[in-house]
Amino acid sequence: MPSFAQLSAPSGTVVWALVGGTRLFRSSDRGDTWVERSRPSNLADIEIGFADETNGILLNTGSPALQCQTQTVTIWKTADGAASWEQVTATGIGDALCKTGLTSSDTTHALFTASQFGGAPLMYRTADGGASWTASAPIPVPPNLASQGSMFVITGRPRGFGSVVLVDGGGGQQTKDVFRSTDGGATFAYASTVPTFEGTVAYLTATRWLQIAPPSSSRETTDGGASWHAYTTDYSQAAPIAPQIVFGDAMVGYATVRGEIQRTTDGGAHWTKIKTPGTA
């Protein structure tokens, strides 16, 4: 089993998987079958964000300087289902901070976060398919971490729903907070504190979010974080680390941890293991 898999789910049927950071696969049937696709060669640290089964962006990050003071990146894109890739001459991305969390909202819009301990995190966004990028205003320190803001970092992968962008982060007090943008990622405001630090926040819609935290502490909000309640799910895993969870629509989602993949088709209540592409 590979050490990790990064997933991108642009719809309820299409899902992409970057397995072990080296092999790229696409499924058009929710992960029942997979087809291997190409990726740019000689790139070490990459993340993928696909808008559909043909259009995608790739973020290649260099080795970060001490404490994420700087990290250079390159941007690549495909418009033929990853049969070929073209490096984009991207403008607007500063060297400061470590970059991660690439996600693609549609064929022109994409996002990724930039943060470091001791510095204000922010988010980069593009509206032209990756050619030009604009940094957001600094994401504010949440109220519960105001006394130790230097420990706050963005840890989640952003999710866009039109002009609404959601992302979560954590701090030294073992808390997790969600931030919301209503202007496409230009500015962010504190939205909610998640009831439990364990697990992963998954955004199914702009207002329905799940905190998947096995075995019995999962939570749900249906009002954009104004209130949370217990949520019953049969999700389980052996690994003692939080999974990465992505949803293609309000019902179909995927969870991956240490290379294993599980799928839900009912909005997070029931999960089944599916084959990780490229494995026996």
144, pLDDT greater than 90: no
* pLDDT given for residue 2 in this prediction: 66
* pLDDT given for residue 66 in this prediction: 83
196, pLDDT greater than 90: no
Question: How far from the centroid of its chain's Cα atoms is residue 141's Cα?
Answer: 20
* pTM exceeding 0.85: yes
Digit-coded pLDDT (tens) for 207-244: 999 999 877 789 999 999 999 999 999 999 988 888 99
Q: Which residues pair with 221 in a beta bridge?
A: 209
Digit-coded pLDDT (tens) for 4-25: 899 999 999 999 999 999 999 9
Mean pLDDT of all residues in 22-40 = 97
CA dist list (Å): 210 to 193, 218, 222, 237: 13, 7, 9, 17
Nearest of 172, 256, 178 to residue 4 by alpha carbon: 256
3-state SS, 3-49, equals CCEEEECCCCCCEEEEECCCEEEEECCCCCCCEEECCCCCCCEEEEE
* pLDDT given for residue 179 in this prediction: 97
Alpha carbon distance 52, 272 (integer Å): 24
Cis peptide before 215 (omega within 30 of 0): yes
Rg of the chain, C-alpha, whole Å: 18
Terminal-to-terminal C-alpha distance of the chain: 9
Cα dihedral 26, 29, 30, 33 sign: negative
Q: Where are the beta strands (DSSP E) in 162-259?
A: 164-170, 176-181, 189-193, 200-203, 209-212, 219-221, 229-230, 244-247, 253-257
CA dist list (Å): 54 to 91, 102, 268, 277: 24, 17, 27, 19
